[in-house]
Amino acid sequence: MSPEQLFPRPSREFLTLLAGLPKHLDAAMPMRKQHRRELPGDIRHLSHLLTDERGDLRRDYLADPAALSAYLRYFLPWNIYRLGVLFNGLAIDPGGDNPDGAATIVDLGTGPLTAPLTLWMSRPHLRKRPLTFICVDRAPKPMRLGLDALHSLAAGQGGLAPWKVTIVKGPLDARLREKADLLIMANALNEVLHRGEGDMLENADALAWHLAGMLTPTGEICVVEPGIRPSAHLLAALRRGFLHHGLNPVAPCPHDGPCPMSGRGYTAWCHFNFDAESAPNWLKSLSDEARLPKDNVSLSFLRFSARGRKLEATPGKALVRAVSGPFELPAPAGSGEARRFGQYACSEHGMTLISMPQKHLLPLPGALIEAPWPEAPETDAKSGALVLPLGAEHVPAKPKEPAKPATKAVAKTAAPSAKAPRPPKRAEAAAAKPKARRSIGAQGTAPTSDQGKGKTMTVENLLTAEDLAQAAPAPRRKRLPSERPADEKRGGHKPAGKPAGKPTGKPTGKPKDKDSHAARKGAGKKPHAPGNPKGRPDKKGGKN
């Protein structure tokens, strides 16, 4: 089963290594002061070439020193940030449970060795495994610079051994003698698939057959692209080819049926946004200087396996993968119904619209839940998605625990008095209230101790009857001095934290990435369209 949450918060070690990346890039490719002053303009120019002016992009664009420097110092770090979060959420683990297990990793379209750098920084337990990397790209210079940066990064931790890295000049469809336990292809798919519908489907099927033939019997493929509509369309075509040639979906697809979010025409496209707040300050400052600020990052991806996994839900339920951010649903005119909040998702029944009474109860994008499926679901008039309402009427009530018999000591104390027991004091009554099973964290995610260990988040774990009962909280009144804790009476510090059930993080439903004109065109004009409700995807990917 896929991990519960695909985009966990980055670890402190990963962020520390990413914050120190510039010195390793400078060691590999020093830059003069004049070129450093021109760097923001070079970044902005390359951004336009990789997005809305892609027709002017040469295949060997990284042969230009200014473009190469801009790519290394801006696009490479942002790609490492994206992939690092995703690789942790996917629990990428070549070699399996064996701590000394050897594995071969093929990185197609590697560019400046983005995938090896990301794995070193984000998956520290892999550094001691005998991993063999075969990195393939048409341009050898970026690969050599990336290898120099990787050696500089690993020097502070005892060196790169036992890793072995081989760089190979060649196309993405190069034939290799080695079979891959893990094949990675990041930000390179758009270079081999044409956008013409007929050519793309034919080329995607041929590419899927080629990639499937490069795997070991238990090998896996991870393909990552920028979170824009054309990329999702390419991935949907490649997904069809993977299924045709016997590979099985691992993530994000919760089923092996047709893709309901392919991005074809004006339909929804499968992509995920997550917060960029944790990115290093130097990277955010450089983005601001280049007039390409980022509040969030976006990607589309596929993970398929030759071995596969079991895709089955409990009878009467369905596996549902949350895709979009949350947004408010319009109430029917004159209905007087309480407002609800929605989120687009993917299930075996097709595109799904999750509907909940409270915004913070919706799962984060990427979460996989098992939900009861209605017998006759309604269809959303705007998007055509099947509506999956989740609320108190859809959540099984907790079984009541049998009352415990009074102990002998209590019985002896209560026997002599025939008077009715006095009502408990306010403090005693508050202590006697049952505590919520667990609090709801930022943006509706319930904190869990087994995150990333292959467990599915069920609706019973996601929200409880107690959570729903708090939809209309009673008006608060000012506490009397006698009711305040002792530390507050003395003027001590106030208790930290926020009220339970209140979201504490930034909502991800309204990304503000304004990188290019093409992003605004691709996002559509309708408010919170199914592919990208209330936001525009991040477009910075380009070549890896």
* Residue 307 sits in the same domain as residue 322: no
* Residue 238 sits in the same domain as residue 360: no
Q: Is residue 105 part of a domain?
A: yes
Q: Which domain holds residue 77?
A: 12-311+513-522
* Residue 369 sits in the same domain as residue 302: no
pLDDT at 98: 67
* Token code pair at residue 90: 């996917």
Indicate whether this model's pTM tops 0.75: no
* Residue 189 sits in the same domain as residue 256: yes
Domains identified in the chain, total number: 2
* Residue 239 sits in the same domain as residue 368: no
pLDDT at 97: 64
pLDDT at 52: 63
pLDDT at 220: 94
Q: Which of 379, 394, 409 is the last residue of a domain?
A: 394
pLDDT at 484: 47
Is the preceding peptide bond at 252 cis, omega within 30 degrees of 0? yes
Q: Which of 394, 412, 432 is the last residue of a domain?
A: 394
Instruction: For the chain of 544 residues, list the mean pLDDT of each consecutive stretch of 10.
Output: 71 95 93 88 87 63 85 95 94 77 92 96 93 93 95 91 94 87 90 62 88 92 92 91 93 92 84 92 94 92 84 84 90 70 92 90 89 90 89 44 43 41 48 41 36 44 41 46 47 46 46 45 45 45 49
Q: Is residue 403 part of a domain?
A: no
Q: Is residue 278 part of a domain?
A: yes
* Residue 292 sits in the same domain as residue 353: no
* Residue 239 sits in the same domain as residue 360: no
* Residue 265 sits in the same domain as residue 291: yes
Q: Is residue 412 part of a domain?
A: no
Q: Is residue 475 part of a domain?
A: no
Looking up residue 155, the CATH number of its domain turns out to be 3.40.50.150
**Pairing state between β 368-372 and 340-347:** unpaired
* Residue 168 sits in the same domain as residue 307: yes
| Whole-angstrom distance, CA of residue 534 vs CA of residue 466 | 30
**Of 232, 237, 174, which is closest to residue 200 (Cα–Cα)?**
237
* Residue 229 sits in the same domain as residue 373: no
- Cα-Cα end-to-end distance for the chain: 29
* Residue 185 sits in the same domain as residue 247: yes
* Most distant CA pair in the chain, distance: 95
**Of 300, 293, 302, 294, which is closest to residue 226 (Cα–Cα)?**
300
